[in-house]
Chains A and B, each alone.
Chain A
């Protein structure tokens, strides 16, 4: 099959590799129909994530058609499914509490050592995201092996097009969980740092959960424009002082809940080079890790801070004193995708949530390397690239 493979910094190629097979009883093989490039894939592209090997297949936002099932799979050939980016077993203690991203069994035993050393306990496996998350082949390919296929994938009814449901795989539930973690109450003002896909979905979700106002913060005009379309007020942090603006816009009180959807944009894991990035970005005024500090300072007393943003190892100058004195609540973590899928699929079917606005580019899998380059270089206008393995080159708009 053809697949997008990683070979080093800024070096990804579409190669011919072996077709995936059923390896374990609960596996299924999916023929990919749509697969997106995630902001966190750019960290692999930039070479920030350790434990990558040449030839690794990338991609963790994908969907497709079931073409083969193991004896323990509950899927049937021909079903269309969206696959969560987290690989969770469904039977450990954490999965039974719906804390799917904390699954004990998603990562092969040998690969668990790194996360155990870094975090104290290993987390769930991830598709196409280095060997410390399991070394699983990703979905930017014609086919993919899906472990625990009786637990993860959600079956999509016929007639619902891919573009409407693809983002159930990661960024929609991530934005939704971020808003849920903000524990929004009627009348609340919610501030959202970062208008990338997760931030924009958090804006939508916050309104659906009853927020009276949402204030979106970014510096890309196009992204702020998208937030505005959902009814958010906006702050461009290159033009206004964010803390001062937030206080003025809330009568001096501060937002009731603050959502940091900036972070490192990566799905995890510390590394010295990421640590360098943190330092660089912190003190050059690009407002990267600065966002969580700003969120804590701006948040109203007794308010809630939700952090879907991914942070690596350690963060300097965390305002622990402000956090304690103001009695804030912080809730964070990787997304428990499986927990949210049925409800969010319903919301899409009922037209309450639209995700298609995000897609700025659709291209064949064969052009994936070009997709990475574009997404990397032009973050303002390239909001989301979706790769379609079955797409004809002549269909490219």
Chain B
């Protein structure tokens, strides 16, 4: 008897850490409007109150401050936002996503609309960390990669693979919230500008 998908619900390890290839389907059950067949998720502890973190993130236009791949997020009215995201080889991809879940201080969820270059949905949860250590921020992303496995390999080559990006973006979010700035080894402003490209 191996550990099957159904067993995931009987233990405490998050579904994103499951060894089962069907884990995306399990995660999708918990999302309000899931899209995509690849799942990634990451948690980071940030030494700030969760309402403050939620407020920063909920102003989606600010996301490019720490999401290196996101060029712009533009509000289109209502709950709709246009995302412009860097893709390998100097291209960009765009989609419109709607905020589908929004509980202040707790969770923000979004889902791309029909016709998106990259169908995706995600949520970011803010929970009090135990022991007064600030907030656990958990980002979960479901996505279809542009050209299947080949696209994924190319994306990885260009360091634009979503799993790498989410890990690094969360670190930058933590840096920004805890220290007020994003750490860099650049020692001139020109070098810094080059890094951001």
Contact = CB atoms under 8 A, between A and B. Distances in A.
Nearest to A3: B187
Nearest to A106: B183
B172 interface: yes
Nearest to B170: A109
B123 interface: no
Interface in B123-146: 133-134
B174 A104 contact: yes
Interface in A3-49: 18-21, 23-26
Interface string B22-52: 0000000000000000000000010100000
Given A93-B45, A105-B174, A21 B179 contact: no
Interface stretch (A128-136, A241-249, A288-296): A128-136
A110 interface: yes
Contacts of A131: 185
A135 to B, nearest CB: 3
B6 interface: no
Contacts of A286: none
A21 B184 CA distance: 12
Interface residues of B, number: 28
Given A109-B168, A110-B168, A91 B185 contact: no
B55 interface: no
Contacts of B192: 23
A107 interface: yes
Interface in B158-196: 159, 164, 167-169, 171-172, 174-175, 178-192
Given A91-B47, A109-B175, A21 B183 contact: no
Given A105-B175, A109-B171, A21 B187 contact: yes
A148 B159 CA distance: 28
Contact of A91 (B133, B178, B190): B178
Contacts of A18: 187-188, 190
Contacts of A24: 181-184
A104 B178 contact: yes
B183 A72 contact: no
Most buried by A among B167, B168, B181: B181
A111 interface: yes
Interface of A: 18-21, 23-26, 72, 89-93, 96, 104-113, 125, 131, 134-137, 144-145, 147-148
13 contacts: A20-B187, A23-B187, A26-B181, A90-B179, A91-B178, A93-B134, A109-B168, A109-B172, A109-B175, A113-B167, A125-B183, A136-B187, A145-B187
9 smallest beta-carbon distances between A and B, as pairs: A135-B185, A109-B171, A20-B187, A24-B181, A109-B168, A89-B179, A145-B187, A137-B187, A108-B183
Interface of B: 45, 47, 133-134, 159, 164, 167-169, 171-172, 174-175, 178-192
